[in-house]
Amino acid sequence: MRIISGKYKSKRIIAPKKLPSRPTTDMAKEGLFNILNNSYYFDECSVLDLFAGTGNISYEFSSRGTTNITAVDGNANCVKFIEKTSNELNFSIDAIKSDVFKYLSRVTTKYDIIFADPPYAMTQQDFERMVKLIFDQSLLHNNGLLVIEHSTHTNLSDLEFFSNKRKYGGSVFSFFENNCEE
């Protein structure tokens, strides 16, 4: 994987093969960040990266100037890798080992952007549960955005707060917006 823009543009990061992850492709990541770049100043954003895996998305935000990033993954090796890479690159990523659903049910921090890249085999009920937890817990700031990466075989357009989706190869980003006043 590589960082596609910012301070560490073109920096390659080699993750151990044993990590149970599927990093977002460069093409999909570039498309996503082109969309986000039109709405956010990355150096002013707070970001929650769920099912963070290798930390690919967190590194991209960090390279673009985001300093308030929390990366959550249930796998201890993924969290250790994110911590190690974050320290090496002097990124301020708070890596947390936790089940994502447990984390969402207890966290009280609000974020500008929440990015989730769950396993493609996650059930429709768990996708619904995740979106419901995020919005019921009011984890997004006003005009905050939830982005969920999923396979083309999953359809999230019927879920509450859904706004649109973008397809990049075999991946889809579904966007959910919080347009409520805080």
Chain segment 7-41, per-residue pLDDT in tens: 989 888 888 778 777 778 888 899 999 999 989 99
pLDDT attached to residue 2:
86
| CB-CB contact of 51 with 79 (8 Å) | no
Q: Which domain holds residue 162?
A: 26-38+53-115+133-178
> Tell me: the pLDDT tens digits for 117-173?
999 889 999 999 999 999 999 999 988 999 999 999 999 999 999 999 999 988 999
C-alpha 143, offset from chain centre: 17
- For CA atoms 17, 22, 25, 29, the dihedral sign is negative
Q: How far apart are CA 25 and CA 22, in angstroms?
A: 9
Backbone angles phi, psi at 133, to 5 degrees: -60, -45
Report, in this order, helix, strand and coil percent for the chain, each rounded to 5.
Answer: 30, 30, 40
Amino acid at the residue 2: R
Q: How far apart are CA 157 and CA 135, in angstroms?
A: 16
Flag whether pLDDT at 181 surpasses 60: no
162 in a structural domain: yes
10 in a structural domain: no
CATH of the domain at 104: 3.40.50.150
Tokens encoding 102? 């447990």
108 in a structural domain: yes
Q: How far apart are CA 176 and CA 163, in angstroms?
A: 5
80 in a structural domain: yes
Query: 114: number of CA atoms within 13 Å, CB side?
Result: 29
11 in a structural domain: no
Number of domains the chain is built from: 1
127 in a structural domain: no
125 in a structural domain: no
pTM above 0.85, yes or no: yes
124 in a structural domain: no
Q: How far apart are CA 17 and CA 59, in angstroms?
A: 18
